[in-house]
C-alpha cells in the first residue's frame, strides 16, 4: 500500500494506544500496519488521529527482535518469550493485535511496553517488544478520512 506522507521525526508521532493489525518483515525492514491510524501532532489531540498508517524499523539482525508476554499463574507472573516470526504469524492470522503503550530508547534498541489483545478471555496481556535498530523509524500515513 502506498501512503500520502512519510517522515522520520519521531518527536512528531506516537504509537501510544495504537493497535497493529498486520506485521511484515522484508529485507530487514519490520513494518507494523495500523488501520485505525497513529498519532501525529499536525492533526490535533485525538488519539489516534491519522488515517491508515504504518511504521517501519530497519532491524539490526545482530540485536534482533523479541517479544515478552506476561501472564499471571498461581500468584506468580510468568514471562513467555516469542520470536519475531511467532509474533508476525499470530498478528497476521488475526489471533492477536499488538497495542503499543510506551517507548523507551536504549543504545541501538527500542523497547515498547504494551498489550497483546485476543478475542477471548482474558482479553489482554502485558508485553514488552524489543527492536534492535540503529536507525530512526519511518512513519507512513494518510490523512484522516
Instruction: Examine residue 2 and state whether it is found in any structural domain, yes or no.
Output: no
**Each residue's pLDDT tens digit, 109-122:** 999 999 999 999 99
Instruction: Examine residue 7 and state whether it is found in any structural domain, yes or no.
Output: no
Domain that holds residue 79: 13-141
Q: Which long-range contacts (CB under 8 A, 24 or more apart) does 79-82 make?
A: none
Instruction: Examine residue 127 and state whether it is found in any structural domain, yes or no.
Output: yes
Instruction: Examine residue 5 and state whether it is found in any structural domain, yes or no.
Output: no
Q: What is the pLDDT of residue 114?
A: 98
Q: What is the pLDDT of residue 45?
A: 85
The residue behind cell 501512503 is 3
Q: What is the pLDDT of residue 145?
A: 83
3-state secondary structure of 55: strand
Query: For the chain, which ranges sit under pLDDT 50?
Result: none
Q: What is the spatial distance between Cα 131 and Cα 109, in angstroms, rounded to a whole number?
A: 6
Instruction: Examine residue 44 and state whether it is found in any structural domain, yes or no.
Output: yes
Q: What is the pLDDT of residue 47?
A: 84
Q: What is the pLDDT of residue 132?
A: 96
Written as nine digits, the cell of 124 is 489482554
What's the structural domain count of the chain?
1
Amino acid at each position: 500500500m502506498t501512503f500520502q506522507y512519510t517522515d522520520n521525526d519521531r518527536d512528531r508521532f506516537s504509537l501510544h494506544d495504537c493497535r497493529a493489525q498486520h506485521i511484515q518483515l522484508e529485507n530487514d525492514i519490520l513494518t507494523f500496519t495500523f488501520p485505525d491510524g497513529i498519532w501525529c501532532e499536525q492533526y490535533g489531540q485525538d488519539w489516534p488521529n491519522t488515517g491508515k498508517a504504518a511504521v517501519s524499523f530497519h532491524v539490526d539482525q545482530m540485536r534482533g527482535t523479541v517479544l515478552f508476554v506476561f501472564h499471571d499463574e498461581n500468584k506468580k507472573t510468568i514471562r513467555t518469550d516469542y520470536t519475531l516470526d511467532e509474533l508476525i504469524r499470530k498478528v497476521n492470522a488475526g489471533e492477536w493485535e499488538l497495542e503499543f503503550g510506551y517507548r523507551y530508547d536504549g543504545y541501538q534498541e527500542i523497547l515498547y511496553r504494551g498489550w497483546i489483545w485476543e478475542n477471548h478471555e482474558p482479553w489482554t496481556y502485558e508485553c514488552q517488544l524489543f527492536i534492535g535498530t540503529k536507525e530512526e523509524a519511518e512513519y507512513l500515513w494518510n490523512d484522516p478520512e
